[in-house]
Amino acid sequence: MKINKIILSFISAVAILLSTSVVSFAKVVGDKIVLGAAISLTGKYSSNGVHTQNGYNMAVDRINSMGGVKVGGKTYKFEIIYYDDESNPKRAAQLAERLISQDGVEFMLGPYSSGLTKAIAPVTEKYGVPMVEANGASRSLFTKGYKYLFAVLAPANLYLDVAIETAVELNGGKGVRIAQAFEQDAFSQDVRLGILDAAKRTGSEIIIDDKLPKELNDMAATLVKVKQMKPDVLVVSGHTKGALTAIRQIAEMKVDVPMLAMTHCDAAKLSKQHGKNSQYALCASQWHKTLTYKDNFFKDGMTYAADFQKEFGYDPPYQSAESSAALLVFKDAFERANSFDQKKVRDALAATNMQTFYGNIKFAPGGQNVDKPMVLFQVMCDSAGKCENKVVAPLKWASAKLIHPIPKWSER
């Protein structure tokens, strides 16, 4: 009797499960194009996850309010299903699976960070779901031969090689002596590979090559070596922790180095958290609001920044801008494909060649955007101690002249 009951309840549970999974969203419901995204709303990437989500939402609202997407003579509106991946790669892969096989999503937007994108890419690839991602820059994403992955951003190995090239140029074309410290994660190690390439290309020498641990909060040892060896350039990449720790300890230990190049300065709010101590730091950025790229939806960087500020109450970091750009790419591809067939949309994405407020977008066969250079900005402070990020390279976009070499601490 009891066993019968258990069996009965088991069967009904399975039946309920099946019935719910059959009734699922289709890719296009009525006049809506449903996109799926797993985003880090909690966990260690939550702040950047929120920047990403805000960027997506802003673009969805803008595109929908400006006429939506026209496919086959009919107008469609974007809608995004979000899930929280808890900053956990395993969870992100599960959620991608769920979005595709349960929710029936046929087009995906990327998560935040290279690590999570790496976890999701095999899933979208397996189902042939085109994914446009805006926050995974690791080079290894683009060397696996993925056919359905498209990234609007420049790959990580290009983040700082502009800095090395600039240093060499300022050195009269002769190679420079480089000290570098990189965190041991996929992204920073890719940035490191880029520096190694640049060093080889320019005949520069790497004299300090430190790897920083994940729980890094003290790099005094590296800086003591820098003081002793006096390199021409110091390169640091270790997400926001690395940027904050480096600036604090360089200022406290009065380390003099002619050029300091870093990543994640704007995410770390360097100029706000460190004020004048962060002055002269060179930072790699995917985007800066003063760049003069244009499109029909957000006009240009300055307008985007102002609108974003109005809606979310803070200045947009590049993570938000690139996320917004991902939606523009999708819209463009849908209209050119004039279809919701995944294969056709994929081919349209591959043929993308457009300008957005965020930059030019054109994908290499590996999926990375090859038409948008990285920019370098330098933190510059006025005498009242108010600091601002000004673009200094490449020269085409520069709004200020690079200050080089960095003045010695004793002369500041």
Partner 1 sequence: MDFMVFQYPMITIQACLDGILLGVLFALIAYGMALQWGVMNIINIAQGDLVILGGYIAYFMYLYGIHPAWGVIVSPIIMYFVGVGIYKLVINKVVDRDLFISILATFGISILFMQLMNFAFGADVVLANSGYGTTFLFDSNVVLPNSKIFSAFISILFAICLVIYMKKSKLGRAIRATAQNARAAKILGVDTEKVYAATFGINAALCGVAGALISITFTIHPYMGLPYTIRSFMIVIVAGLGNLPGVAMSGMGLGVFEEFADYILGTEFRIGAVFLLLVLILVYRRFKLSRKREYLK
Which residues contact partner 1 (rule: CB under 8 A)?
42-48, 87, 181, 184, 210-213, 215-222, 224-225, 227-228, 239-241, 244-245, 248-249, 252-254, 268-269, 273-275
* Closest distance to partner 1 from the beta carbon of 412 (Å): 13
Which CA distances in Å does 227 have to 111, 232, 243, 255?
Answer: 40, 11, 18, 6
Name which of 124, 249, 267, 132 is nearest 187 in CA terms: 267
Residues 6+ apart with CB under 8 A from 190: 114, 137, 138, 139, 140, 155, 156, 157
CA end-to-end span of the chain: 87
Looking at the Cβ atoms of 86 and 322, the one nearer to partner 1 is 86
Residues 6+ apart with CB under 8 A from 410: 254
- Calculate Rg over the CA atoms of the chain: 23
Question: What's the CA gap between 272 and 385, in Å, rounded?
Answer: 10
Strands (E), 152-195: 177-183
* Closest distance to partner 1 from the beta carbon of 26 (Å): 35
**Phi, psi (degrees; rounded to nearest 5) at 89:** -55, -40
Residues 6+ apart with CB under 8 A from 124: 96, 100, 108, 130, 131, 148, 149
Looking at the Cβ atoms of 228 and 383, the one nearer to partner 1 is 228
* Closest distance to partner 1 from the beta carbon of 261 (Å): 18
* Closest distance to partner 1 from the beta carbon of 255 (Å): 8
Looking at the Cβ atoms of 251 and 400, the one nearer to partner 1 is 251
Residue 369 is classified by DSSP as: B
Name which of 375, 347, 344 is nearest 359 in CA terms: 375
* Closest distance to partner 1 from the beta carbon of 228 (Å): 6
Question: What's the CA gap between 2 and 242, in Å, rounded?
Answer: 61
* Closest distance to partner 1 from the beta carbon of 210 (Å): 5
Count of positions (residues) in the chain: 412
* Closest distance to partner 1 from the beta carbon of 274 (Å): 7
* Closest distance to partner 1 from the beta carbon of 234 (Å): 14
**Phi, psi (degrees; rounded to nearest 5) at 149:** -105, 125
